[in-house]
Amino acid sequence: MIAPALSKLETTAAPRRQGGLALVLRLWDRLTIYLPLLVAGVLALLTYWLVSNAPPAPGPVLERAVKHEVDYFMRRATVKTFDDKGRMKSEVFGLEARHYPDTETVEIDQFKMRAINPQGRITTVTAARALSNDAGNEIQLFGKARVVREPQQKADGSWLPRQEYQGEFLHVFVDEERVKSHLPVVLTSGNDKFSGDSLVHDNVSQVTNLQGRVKARLEPRRSTVPAPGR
């Protein structure tokens, strides 16, 4: 009695297993049809999430505005410069010096300078205020400006006279030995005195150009020829 009953159960279970397998296959077929759409949907959601959480793109880099500000200053400072042979070219003193990096200039109060050219001629410069480039070879003088070149003997034995320039503004080019001004200037050369509304002087070529209302006072030269005997 038991054996026929088992055979009957197995016969009934077999069709059920086959029906379940067919159902799984049909579901898998449908899933494979819609699988690309599901993958595309997942990728779209992932892309949206990445864009939403990504950091904002950097904006255009704005150049920092350069300000005319002092980056360092010195009080009662003395600065000396030397040539490649160790000889002093210039010595500068100021009550206070302020450096501006944007223009590469130094502003100096109560300015004083002593310079020596390669031939050994000494030039002294003073002013209430000076504006110099970092190299120290171009200087603008403001307020009671004064440049003095000491006399010097030339190779032929003759002398270059003492020269003095005075004015409220002088522009000095140290290495080129030039002085110019767009304001009135008084020039003294030896015992002679000149004045004008503007000045350009080149010490190398010994040429002076005064413009505007020019005045001159020339002292008579002393004769080097001995007077005839009586």
Secondary structure (DSSP) of 82-102: E-TTS-EEEEEEEEEEEEETT
Calculate the average pLDDT of the chain.
79
Is residue 110 within 8 Å of 194, Cβ to Cβ? no
Is residue 100 within 8 Å of 107, Cβ to Cβ? yes
Is residue 201 within 8 Å of 180, Cβ to Cβ? yes
* pLDDT tens figures, 149-169: 999 888 888 888 899 999 999
Q: 43-76: buried (b, 16+ CB within 10 Å) or exposed (e) per residue?
A: eeeeeeeeeeeeeeeeeeeeeeeeeeeeeeeeee
The continuous run of DSSP H or E covering 189 comes out as: strand 185-189
Residue 224 and residue 22: Cα distance in Å, rounded? 139
Q: Is 217 left (phi over 0), alpha (psi -120 to 50) or beta?
A: beta
Q: Where are the domains of the chain?
A: 1-51, 72-217
Residue 47 phi, psi (nearest 5): -65, -45
Q: pLDDT 10s digit of each residue in the chain, 230 long?
A: 444 544 444 555 455 555 556 665 665 566 566 556 555 555 566 565 555 655 666 656 666 667 888 888 899 988 888 888 888 888 889 999 999 999 999 999 999 999 888 888 899 999 999 999 988 789 999 999 999 999 988 888 888 889 999 999 999 898 888 999 999 999 999 999 999 999 999 988 889 999 999 999 988 876 544 444 44
CATH architecture of the domain 72-217 equals: Sandwich (2.60)
Is residue 170 within 8 Å of 154, Cβ to Cβ? no
Is residue 142 within 8 Å of 129, Cβ to Cβ? yes
DSSP single-letter state for residue 190: T
Q: Among residues 102, 125, 119, 181, which one has the least CA distance to residue 154?
A: 119
In sequence order, the 6+-apart residues with CB closer than 8 A to the CB of 34 are: none
Residue 185 phi, psi (nearest 5): -140, 145
pLDDT of residue 128: 97
pLDDT of residue 131: 95
Full-model pTM: 0.64
Residue 35 is which amino acid?
Answer: L
pLDDT of residue 6: 42
Burial class (CB in 10 A: 0-12, 13-18, 19+), 170: buried
